[in-house]
Amino acid sequence: MKSIKRYLPIALLSAGVSIWTSCGPQGETITEEAIDTTYSVQTEKLLINVDTLYSEFENPWGMTWLGDARMLVTERKGEILIFKDDKFTGEKVQGLPAVHAVNQAGLLDIAVHPKYAENGWIYIAYAKNFPDSTAATTIMRFKLEGNTAAQQEELIVAGPPWKGGRHFGSRIVFDNEGYLYFSNGDKGNIPMNAQDLTNAHGKIHRIHDDGKIPTDNPFVNTPGAVPSIWTYGNRNPQGLVFDKANNRLWEVEHGPMGGDELNLIEKGKNYGWPVISYGMNYDGTVLTEITEKEGMEQPVTYYVPSIATCGLTLVTSDKYPAWKGNILIGALAKMHINRVEMNGTTAGAKEIMLQDIGRVRQVSESPDGYIYAITEGTGLLVKLIPIR
């Protein structure tokens, strides 16, 4: 008789565990570890409850809210799960485009238009398949008709298409004027893509909400340059957040072995990859001899060793007074949420929170002011509830 054991995330075990056995549908013995879905954590400045809302994700990537108690979460393999009132409805969005689900590529971020209540547009970033087995980070939008992705419009393809599945980015944010920004990684095997304005890789891009190119983009009149480029020299940016109160765009990107960066993204600037870096090659050899160069931006803060920075959010909610103004960054390899204290554009102390909760792919602040996170490995959707 087969014996099966179901494991819970390491980070949840501190709440207290009881063990029992039961019989599965084929007569096998199932050993389960039972635990409350909510547990308390004392962080440096705030006591929080961590409420586990869902635990069956494979590779979740992005999340957004529709304003009617519904929440959408993307799975990299090409699915969008529909939640309502913090519970999975059992339903998924139908009719989505095919995606190139290889390694880090697939269905990536999701965001709603700032005027979603008026126009109903939902935006996704995904790796689009091409006939020669290449793919490119692509932005499209659609409207929900029931649970179907209708009125699909492909807005921009960040090419040229590339083989493999490394360093596709990608995040989507809107600024106060309704411009859409998205990130695209350097595709991995040719780092100097990020310094080459004739391709879209290793860049942050800016477009109108309908895909048109703004006439005031920094390289729109540069011969041969991709006109959507806003910044360049960005290795693999998997986190973007826009600070509406201060009109600032923040980004996190993966370094190689060391040198993950938090950057303040500003028009036309060069963020240095791979000419300058605080990291090294994965085999331990020297990547570059320099960490600074005139005309290239320094990160606001960086991580050595790498934590594998991914999604991020800016805490604006009054629900977390001790964190307000801080940046929260998901850590994939180091499996935690990294809290960075901010004084304007200057980074201060960092705190490791929820160690071993899983590979944190995204951290987001909901419209009603709560912090949510999604994880790989442990497959979680959690909600952080402050205890006053």
Q: Which residues are catalytic?
A: 167
CA 326 to the chain's CA centroid: 17
Measured distance CA(18)–CA(5) in Å, rounded: 13
The 10 Å Cβ neighbour count of residue 148 is: 13
Measured distance CA(121)–CA(368) in Å, rounded: 20
Measured distance CA(70)–CA(198) in Å, rounded: 40
Residue spans of beta strands (DSSP E) within 208-276: 229-232, 237-243, 248-253, 260-265
Measured distance CA(119)–CA(32) in Å, rounded: 46
Query: CB under 8 Å to 19, separation ≥6 — which residues?
Result: 31, 32, 33, 34
Measured distance CA(5)–CA(26) in Å, rounded: 15
Measured distance CA(291)–CA(282) in Å, rounded: 17
Measured distance CA(26)–CA(20) in Å, rounded: 18
Measured distance CA(168)–CA(46) in Å, rounded: 35
